[in-house]
Structure formats: structure tokens, C-alpha cells
Structure 1
Amino acid sequence: MTSSSIAILLGLLLAGGAATAQSEALDFGPVARRIELSPEEVQAASEIVISAGLSTTLLFDAGLRREDVELEGRDRFELVDLGQTTLRLVPSSRVTAADTFRLVVHFRDGAAPVSASFLLRVHPVKAQPLIEIYRGRRTVATYQQEVRELRAELTRFKEENARVVAEHEAPAGLAGLISTTAMDEHGVLGSNVSAAVSLEAEKWFTSSFVRTYRSTARVAVETHLAVKAGGAPWRAKGAMLRNKAGAELKVLRIWQEQILPDEEFKRLVVEAVAPAASVQGPFSLKLWEADGPRTLTLRNITFPEWP
């Protein structure tokens, strides 16, 4: 099959596809999450998302009793750095997806509430980098910042909704790509990057090749995967496409054939939004299953240069 015919087939796949597509929205960048503690009522433990090897910092507006911090499974964290008003956590590689750890902190001044409880839940990649915990009155500046972030988030939701509506109303095939401006007269460019890409999941998977594609506003990564003998069937639940600077591309969908433990290679495609200015590689692609520990990382991914 020629490269031009492969590009056309991929374009048809991205526009419609015969198999079931999955998608998991990703934020464009990390923002501080805020948790407010009420002194009048007992609050349930707030859930915080952590990931192996990634840092999560809790910033409190009151001093902590450092000697009384309670962290379940402390030996499974490679870093627990406790300051006067901060707590930085880095889980080790021993944690697995869906693990939970209870964290309790006590405040030094004795004011209500005297303590706060948190539930740390492990996700393969989506650690929340900064959590701000308030017990007292917040400043006007923090409310203004929160309003700005909410407005930005609302704008993203509106743009995403408009895109979904447009794609739903668009025709399938090449006409759909053209009508949604995902493709122009330059078509879709493809490149075989198998020699440069490394796979970090050798104990679970093998990969036969990796191809990347680019159109006016989209990119895609295609790979053929097989589950090693003795493993369980695998289906990707989410994906993250990030460059070395930490910038993420918004993943639109994951399409894959069923990957069974028969060592037969099956196709998997990840599609993302990527205006020309945002495609500054190389990128790493990380995929994870719904509840299991098996993650897949492809590194040193590059996309064809756009005319």
C-alpha cells in the first residue's frame, strides 16, 4: 500500500470509522485546585489525584503540626516533604492505578477546623500538581483569579461543544474532513517513525511499527500492538500526548481494534487537535486502561512538517 493511500484511509478513519471510538478530554495546562474547609460542619475527605513519579503539592493557609501528619502507605512514596504550610508528595513506582491513601493533617493554631482529611487516589498520569487549602477568609485576588479560570474553562467548554456539534452534523469521509476544516488542499501527510520511537511497556506489549499523520488542524499516531502471551485483553481508556516542555495536545479520540492475548498485532490510533504552532516535538504518548496497572508509553514521536 502506498503512503498516499494510507493517508487517505486514515483520513476516512478519523472522520468516521467503523469501530467504536473513545475519548477522554484533557485540560490544556495545570491550574491550582482550591479546597475550602468549613469550621461549622464536619466535611468528608476531599479526593486528590496523584500519579507515580509526579509531584503534588498541598498549600495551606495555616501552619501545620508537622509531627502529627498521618499518611497511609508512607513507604510507597518516594518523597514526603513537609514544610510549615506545605506538603509535597511524590508517589513511587510501587503505587498502581486506583490505589487510595488516606491523609490527615492537623493545624498548629487550634482554630476550627483543627484537622483536615484527604483521600489520595492514584491515576496513571493525571496528578493534580497544586492544591490550595483554605480554612479562613480568602483574599479578593484569589476570588478574581478563580473567576478568570472559570471563564477560561467555560470558553473551552463552549469551543468543545461547538466542535462536537459541527462534527456530528458533518458528513462522513473526505467530505467530513473538508467541512470541519480538518483537511485542506494539502491533504494528510504521513511518516513512518518506527526507528526513532521507543516503547516503554515491554513486559506487557510489543509494537510492530509507529506512523504519524498531520493535516491542517489535526495529528494522529498509529501503531500496531500485541499483548504478550499470558496477558489479559487490553483496551485504552485514556491518552496523553505531551512534548518535552510539558505542553499537551488535546486528545479527541482513541480508536482501536480489540487487543487480545494472542500475540496478533492490532491497530490503535490516537487523534489530537494540533494547530501548526503547537506541534513542537518530540512528543511522548501515554495510554492507560480503565482500572488496571498496564500503561503504554511511546517516546520520541514526531509529526510531518506542514507546508
Structure 2
Amino acid sequence: MGRLAHWALGEDGLSLYVIPRGDYLPGERVKVTVRFADGAAPASASFWLVGHAAKGTRKVEVFRQPRPPDVLKRERDEAQAEARQCQEDKARLLAEREEPGGLMGAAWLEGAGVVAFKQLFFLTEQPANALRLDKARSYSYTPTGETHPASLAVWLRLLNPGAEPWTMAGAVLEDSTGEEVALTVRQEAPIAASGAGAVLVGTEGAPEQLDCPCTLKLWEAAGPRTVTLGNVTFPDAPKAAP
């Protein structure tokens, strides 16, 4: 990495002054790990120093708030549960051979294209929504051949605080210009009263065809109860390997 010219340890910070070696290349990465002595979790933090031909950062501030081990364990368990759910979703979709292609079917999971996904943490909910949002993910699919079209999808886990089950009948995606796109909808079972359930909505097209952030609107089959979610975005469609 280079020569450590000076370092200083304070009560709440550590300063390092490094003189790069002469053959340090632009883009070269060096990992630096700092270990904390107070016994709290997390016990360490790692940083990457990245070489640049012209730019340098004189000061980087990182603030650490010790967190109880039980909180970290809960977050780890939730992440593992989310991964298991994704695997179950994959297995279920692979079994549904009669479904159409693209993200609303199963072929994309078998290497027929390239899929990107993102967690949607900052969706906005309308106070009048019939259901409450629990989790959300968006997907974009880029085909490697001509069999299936490029497509987008949104997966939602919703909570039903009402006294009646909720069954989705339709959905529409509205981009920031007011353009609306009708979506194909899938729901395995009604979302029970005081229960939770998942829905999947999608359409053909690539992310660049929409001016997002977008608004997603869902409505039920037999009543006026609707769900409107704002700030929906999609991952950039990845390029398939040549």
C-alpha cells in the first residue's frame, strides 16, 4: 500500500497518514481492517483504499454505534429467512412450467436471461390503503435470446388489517410523466383477514422505457379496497454476457 507516515489514536477516532508507494496503480484496492477494543458489537470494521491518478480524500469520517449482539443476531436471522424465501420462490416458479416467459414465468430462473433485483426500502404508502406493506422487491430481466422478452416485475408482501380476505384483480404502473402501463398479476391465494400474503405484478419492457420513480396501484376483485405505493424504482437491466 505504501509507507505509514503517521498515526494518531484518540478517544473516539483513529487518524492514519499514508504515503503511497511509487508503483501504486490507479484502481488498485487495499483492504484495511480496524478492530475495536471495547468488546461491543460489531467488533471490527473494514475499509477499501482505492488508488486514483489525480484525486485523493484527505479525510473520511466513519461513525460507529455499538449494537447489542441480540440485535445483530436478529438481523442475521431475518436475512437468512429472506434468502430461504427467495429459494422457495425460485423452486415454486420452476415448477410452474405452463406459465408465460419473462419475469412472470420460470424460464428466467434457468439461465434464459439475466436478472437484476433490488430491495425497495423507501416506498410511500397512502393512508387510505386497504393493505399495509411489509416487504418489496423489484426485478428487471434481460433476455439472452429471442425466446422471452425483456420484462419488469414487482414482488410485494402485504399485510391485511381488515376483516375480509383481499384478492387482487388488477394493477397498473404510472411513471412520473403520467404514462400508465397495465400489469399482469399473480396471486397464489387471497390474503386472509388479519393475515399476510404475497403478490407479483409485471410487464414486458426495460427499465429505461419508464420515467421512474413510479406509482404502483393495485385493486381487489370484489370491492373498492385499493393499494397505492409510490417511489417504485427498478434496477438497471444488466447486460448479458457475450
CA distance in 2, matches of 1:289, 1:208: 18
Which residue identity is paired with 1:235? T
What is aligned with 1:205?
131
Query: Is the contact made by 1:234 and 1:260 (CA closer than 8 Å) also made in structure 2?
Result: yes
What is aligned with 1:192?
119
* Aligned counterpart in structure 2 of residue 238 of structure 1, from 162, 170, 189: 170
Which residue identity is paired with 2:204? V
Q: Aligned runs of 1:104-123 on 2, under 5 Å? A: none
CA distance in 2, matches of 1:16, 1:246: 37
What is aligned with 1:297?
228
Bigger relative CO (Cα 8 Å, ≥ 6 apart) = 1
* Cα shift readout 1:88-136 (whole Å, capped 9, x = no counterpart): xxxxxxxxxxxxxxxxxxxxxxxxxxxxxxxxxxxxxxxxxxxxxxxxx
* Cα shift readout 1:52-85 (whole Å, capped 9, x = no counterpart): xxxxxxxxxxxxxxxxxxxxxxxxxxxxxxxxxx
Q: State yes or no: 1:277 paired with 2:204.
A: no
Secondary structure in structure 2 of the residue aligned to 1:190: strand
- Which segments of 5 or more consecutive residues in structure 1 lack a partner in the other structure? 19-163
* Cα shift readout 1:206-252 (whole Å, capped 9, x = no counterpart): 211111111111111111112114x2111011110110112233422
Change in Cα spacing, 1:12 to 1:239, as seen in structure 2 (3 Å) is farther
CA distance in 1, matches of 2:94, 2:205: 16
CA-based RMSD of the aligned residues comes to 3.6
CA distance in 1, matches of 2:84, 2:237: 18
CA distance in 1, matches of 2:81, 2:159: 24
Secondary structure in structure 2 of the residue aligned to 1:303: coil
CA offset at residue 270 of structure 1? 0.8
- Which segments of 5 or more consecutive residues in structure 2 lack a partner in the other structure? 1-79, 143-149
CA distance in 1, matches of 2:116, 2:85: 10
What is aligned with 2:158?
225
Secondary structure in structure 1 of the residue aligned to 2:237: coil
What is aligned with 2:218?
287
CA distance in 1, matches of 2:182, 2:135: 23
CA distance in 2, matches of 1:205, 1:178: 29
Query: Is the contact made by 2:177 and 2:211 (CA closer than 8 Å) also made in structure 1?
Result: no
What is aligned with 2:46?
none
Change in Cα spacing, 1:261 to 1:285, as seen in structure 2 (3 Å) is same
CA offset at residue 190 of structure 1? 1.3
What is aligned with 1:253?
185
Secondary structure in structure 2 of the residue aligned to 1:233: coil
Q: State yes or no: 1:266 paired with 2:197.
A: yes
Identity of aligned residues (%): 25
Which residue identity is paired with 1:207? L
Change in Cα spacing, 1:238 to 1:6, as seen in structure 2 (3 Å) is same
Tell me whether 6-15 or 294-303 shows the greater mean CA deviation.
Answer: 6-15
Q: Aligned runs of 1:76-115 on 2, under 5 Å? A: none
CA distance in 2, matches of 1:213, 1:5: 18
What is aligned with 2:43?
none
Change in Cα spacing, 1:295 to 1:198, as seen in structure 2 (3 Å) is same
CA offset at residue 276 of structure 1? 4.4
What is aligned with 2:237?
306
CA offset at residue 280 of structure 1? 2.8
TM-score where L is the length of structure 2? 0.51
